């Protein structure tokens, strides 16, 4: 699917090339042969479960029943740097860590300090210091700094172009040719909303039940039918195909939903572990799908904010601040923990992981790494507007 904007800007960029007779000087060092992939985990992934600070003395008491252990324990994590372990479902990503193709940033946050998913996602994608009425995203502004050519383009995997990819540079979108189905999480929320409405709640309950039977009872496991949105790998494979095609776009955006684990989030197994497994499988699908192009690929995985440090009364966690973010790919010289670790002895507003690190630093590093853009130019032109 080609966005209208694509056609418009395609015409304009052709015109400017003809008029200027070349590309702007700042972009001379940049290259479009590198690929940059941004994966947005919408719904706020719990960073303390993805990257477990098992060495922190306060970790276990805050997390209680959903706490994970250090490497080697019964609920053991996979070793990263001393005191930090990767969730056991993230096997592919751990493999990348071991081969020096992944780094992570803990206590990472955008400048957003409230707790609305939408506003937080908007600011994460805008890349600005605060929410403004300007509607362009940092990935698009970075693409605009690249040399003109067929690859100076971003693709969104989904039905619409998210804010991060909107702006002056060319952007397209591609959606899987499947009829969209409402996911189990949305149905659960509607069930709650219908509690006082007998007709609607009965109808929805019956519909969900029928659906479950039709899917062979797999609905709860999130592997089929309406749980299909929990499977991210096909989207990643599609992104890989599009990126790896000759003259394919230099950037791609994927959105993975369903991280809002207010209840029963689980530990080594459970709801969140299933999502992490789906994420890990998607990273693997991306690597395999890109083939040799993987060596030139940089991937950033981020979420709009972290979750509360304390477990809540329903075995889940609520909207927080500091979270975790990943930088990985064949083009990444990784194996590092980026930024500072603020510890759990002091919490932000007595509930959240202190947002010690600006996640935009990691974004800038990713863009620099992927496209050879000047880091200062990226910071000033892409992230502080």
Partner 1 sequence: MSLNAVIAANRFGLGARPGELAQIARDPKAWLLSQVGQSQSTNMLSDGLLSSAQAFEALQSYQEARAAQRRTEASPNPAVNAEERVRLADLVGQTTGREIEARIQHAVTTQAPFAERWVQFWSNHFTMAVRNLQTTPFPGSFEREAIRPHVWGRFEDLLVKADTHVGMLIYLDQAQSIGPNSQAAQTQQGRRRAAGLNENLAREILELHTLGADGGYSQTDVTEFARALTGWTVAGPRLRRLAQGSRVGTTIFVSELHEPGARSILGKNFPAAGERQALDILAHLARQPSVAKRIAFKVAQHFVADDPPPALVARLEASFRQSSGDLSALAKTLIQSPEAWAPETRKFKTPNDFLISTMRASGANTTSTQALRATFEQLGQTPWRAPSPKGWPDVASEWAAPDAILKRIDWANLAADVIGETFQPIAFAESALGPALTDKTRTAISRAQTARQGIVLALMSPEFQRR
Which residues partner with 51 through β-bridges?
Answer: 86
String marking each residue 246-275 x if it binds partner 1 according to CB under 8 A: ---------x-xxxx---------------
Span of 5-13, 205-213, 245-253, 325-333 interacting with partner 1 by CB under 8 A: 205-213
- Among 199, 246, 313, 346, contact with partner 1 (rule: CB under 8 A): 199
String marking each residue 121-160 x if it binds partner 1 according to CB under 8 A: x-------------------------------------xx
State yes or no: residue 352 binds partner 1 (CB under 8 A): no
State yes or no: residue 194 binds partner 1 (CB under 8 A): yes
Instruction: Show the CA angle centred on residue 173, arms to residues 172 and 176, nearest 5°.
Output: 155
Beta carbons of 329 and 125 less than 8 angstroms apart:
no
Q: Is the dihedral of CA 83, 86, 88, 94 positive or negative?
A: negative
Span of 18-26, 61-69, 115-123, 244-252 interacting with partner 1 by CB under 8 A: 115-123
Q: What are phi and psi of 282, to 5 degrees?
A: -65, -40
Q: How far are the Cα atoms of 35, 146, 332, 341 from residue 371, in angstroms, in the given order?
A: 7, 8, 12, 28
Shortest distance (Å) from residue 292 CB to partner 1: 34
- The span from the CA of 4 to the CA of 2, in Å, is 6
Q: Checking phi first, is residue 172 left (phi over 0); if not, alpha (psi -120 to 50) or beta?
A: beta
Beta carbons of 345 and 62 less than 8 angstroms apart:
no
- The span from the CA of 76 to the CA of 73, in Å, is 4
State yes or no: residue 117 binds partner 1 (CB under 8 A): yes
State yes or no: residue 44 binds partner 1 (CB under 8 A): yes
State yes or no: residue 280 binds partner 1 (CB under 8 A): no
Shortest distance (Å) from residue 1 CB to partner 1: 12
Q: For the chain, what is the total number of helices (H) and then of strands (E)?
A: 12, 12
State yes or no: residue 8 binds partner 1 (CB under 8 A): no
- Among 28, 98, 210, 264, contact with partner 1 (rule: CB under 8 A): 210
- The span from the CA of 385 to the CA of 380, in Å, is 7
- Among 211, 215, 288, 374, contact with partner 1 (rule: CB under 8 A): 211
**Considering beta carbons, is residue 23 or 186 the nearer one to partner 1?**
186
State yes or no: residue 62 binds partner 1 (CB under 8 A): no
- The span from the CA of 59 to the CA of 361, in Å, is 26
- Among 181, 215, 288, 374, contact with partner 1 (rule: CB under 8 A): 181
- Among 203, 220, 245, 295, contact with partner 1 (rule: CB under 8 A): 203
Q: How far are the Cα atoms of 175, 244, 315 from residue 180, in angstroms, in the given order?
A: 10, 26, 30
Give the number of other CB atoms < 10 A from CB of residue 181. 14
**Considering beta carbons, is residue 190 or 356 the nearer one to partner 1?**
190
- Among 116, 132, 264, 384, contact with partner 1 (rule: CB under 8 A): 116
Which residues partner with 298 through β-bridges?
Answer: 36
State yes or no: residue 82 binds partner 1 (CB under 8 A): no
Q: Which residues contact partner 1 (rule: CB under 8 A)?
A: 42-44, 116-118, 121, 159-160, 179-182, 185-187, 189-190, 192-194, 196-197, 199-200, 203-207, 210-211, 255, 257-260
């Amino acid at each position: 699917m080609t966005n209208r904007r694509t056609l418009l800007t395609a015409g304009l960029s052709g015109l400017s090339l003809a008029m200027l007779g070349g590309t702007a000087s700042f972009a001379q060092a940049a290259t479009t042969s590198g690929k940059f992939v941004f994966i947005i985990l919408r719904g706020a992934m719990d960073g303390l479960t993805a990257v477990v600070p098992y060495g922190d003395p306060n970790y276990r008491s805050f997390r209680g029943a959903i706490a994970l252990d250090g490497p080697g324990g019964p609920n053991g994590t996979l070793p990263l740097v001393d005191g930090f372990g990767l969730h056991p479902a993230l096997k592919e990503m751990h493999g990348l860590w071991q081969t020096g193709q992944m780094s992570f940033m803990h206590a990472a946050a955008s400048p957003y300090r409230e707790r609305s998913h939408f506003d937080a996602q908007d600011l994460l994608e805008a890349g600005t210091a605060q929410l403004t009425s300007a509607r362009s995203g940092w990935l698009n502004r970075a693409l605009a700094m690249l040399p003109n050519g067929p690859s100076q383009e971003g693709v969104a995997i989904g039905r619409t172009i998210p804010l991060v990819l909107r702006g002056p540079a060319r952007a397209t979108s591609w959606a899987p040719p499947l009829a969209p189905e409402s996911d189990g999480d949305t149905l659960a929320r509607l069930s709650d909303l219908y509690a006082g409405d007998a007709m609607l709640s009965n109808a929805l309950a019956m519909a969900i039940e029928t659906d479950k039977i039709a899917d062979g009872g797999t609905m709860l496991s999130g592997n089929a039918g309406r749980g299909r949105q929990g499977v991210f790998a096909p989207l990643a494979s599609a992104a890989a195909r599009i990126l790896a095609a000759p003259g394919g776009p230099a950037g791609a955006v994927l959105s993975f939903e369903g991280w809002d684990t207010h209840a029963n989030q689980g530990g080594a197994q459970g709801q969140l572990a299933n999502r992490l497994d789906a994420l890990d499988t998607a990273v693997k699908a991306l690597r395999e799908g890109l083939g040799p192009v993987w060596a030139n690929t940089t991937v950033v995985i981020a979420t709009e904010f972290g979750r509360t440090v304390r477990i809540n009364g329903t075995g889940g966690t609520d909207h927080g601040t500091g979270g975790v973010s990943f930088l990985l790919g064949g083009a990444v010289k990784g194996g590092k923990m980026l930024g500072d670790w603020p510890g759990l002895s002091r919490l932000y507003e007595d509930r959240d992981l202190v947002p010690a690190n600006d996640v935009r630093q990691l974004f800038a590093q990713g863009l620099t790494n992927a496209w050879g853009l000047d880091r200062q130019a990226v910071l000033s032109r892409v992230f502080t507007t």
